């Protein structure tokens, strides 16, 4: 399903094509492709170059590992179990350099994850990031060390058939993509002033 957006200003085609479907095909994702996605994440910018991200990766090739992450999903995200890959992003919440709290850690993990998902688009894959998972269970079943915070669960795979989803989700899958207008998200140097856009 092509859901390429129409934008007010031109953007890179990877950004225009990226979206978060819920329908995934059963086809596996190769380990080399997963390596490319993680390599893209690795080269994201971060505060003081701390690189506070870690990704826990499970594929259906290892049923036990996959179920470990899948067991953390809330019921409403059960559709994600059809994806061949589940990933948990994790933030180290203190600076390694001095032990002080890193309030930018979640921002930096987000930057790395956007690299990850755009690289996925370049390989013909789709991904869906989810807040809907049991954070405490994720900590428990993955053995996260202290000072590391689960951020999001990510389903990755090849596009699937929306008709395979339950009716309400299938309808959402085919709905148009919408965003706020630019003037709602971008201001000048004072809140509410127009941004200096052409």
Q: Work out the mean pLDDT of the chain and round it to a whole number.
A: 96
* Mean pLDDT (whole number) for 163-169: 90
Q: DSSP character for 153?
A: E
The number of angstroms, rounded, from the C-alpha of 86 to the middle of its chain's C-alpha atoms is 10
The whole-number pLDDT of residue 100 equals 97
Q: Among 95-99, 147-151, 155-159, 166-170, which stretch is predicted with the lowest mean pLDDT?
A: 166-170
List pLDDT tens digits, range 105-150.
999 999 999 999 999 999 999 999 999 999 999 999 999 999 999 9
Question: Dihedral through CA 152, CA 22, CA 83, CA 118, nearest 10?
Answer: -60
CATH level 3 topology of 21-171: NADH Oxidase (3.40.109)
- Domain limits of the chain? 21-171
User: Could you tell me the strand order of the sheet in which 85-92 lies?
Assistant: 53-59, 85-92, 148-157, 126-130
pLDDT of 1 > 80? The answer is no
pLDDT class for 198, splitting at 50, 70, 90?
confident
What is the percent of the chain with per-residue pLDDT over 90, rounded to a whole number?
Answer: 93
C-alpha–C-alpha distance, residues 124 and 126, integer Å: 7
C-alpha–C-alpha distance, residues 18 and 37, integer Å: 14
Six token digits for residue 149: 């915070």
Inter-CA distances, 115 with 40, 107, 111, 172, Å: 5, 13, 6, 25
Backbone angles phi, psi at 21, to 5 degrees: -75, 170
The whole model's pTM is what? 0.95
The whole-number pLDDT of residue 81 equals 98
The whole-number pLDDT of residue 2 equals 85
Inter-CA distances, 22 with 4, 141, 162, Å: 16, 24, 8
* Mean pLDDT (whole number) for 14-39: 97
The whole-number pLDDT of residue 47 equals 98
**Comparing C-alpha atoms, which of 137, 140, 113 is closest to residue 127?**
113
């Amino acid at each position: 399903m092509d859901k390429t957006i129409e934008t007010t200003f031109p953007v890179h085609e990877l950004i225009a094509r990226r979206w978060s479907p819920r329908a995934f095909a059963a086809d596996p994702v190769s380990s080399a492709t997963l390596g490319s996605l993680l390599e893209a994440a690795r080269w994201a910018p971060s505060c003081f170059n701390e690189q506070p991200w870690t990704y826990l990766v499970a594929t259906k090739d290892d049923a036990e590992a996959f179920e470990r992450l899948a067991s953390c999903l809330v019921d409403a995200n059960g559709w994600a179990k059809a994806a061949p890959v589940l990933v948990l992003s994790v933030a180290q919440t203190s600076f390694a350099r001095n032990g002080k709290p890193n309030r930018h850690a979640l921002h930096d993990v987000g930057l790395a994850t956007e690299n990850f998902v755009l690289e996925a688009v370049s390989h013909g894959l789709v991904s869906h990031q989810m807040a809907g998972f049991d954070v405490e269970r994720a900590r428990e079943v993955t053995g996260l060390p202290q000072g590391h915070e689960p951020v999001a669960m990510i389903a990755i795979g090849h596009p699937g058939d929306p008709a395979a989803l339950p009716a309400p989700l299938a309808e959402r899958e085919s709905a148009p993509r919408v965003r706020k207008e630019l003037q709602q998200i971008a201001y000048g140097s004072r809140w509410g002033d127009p941004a200096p856009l052409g």
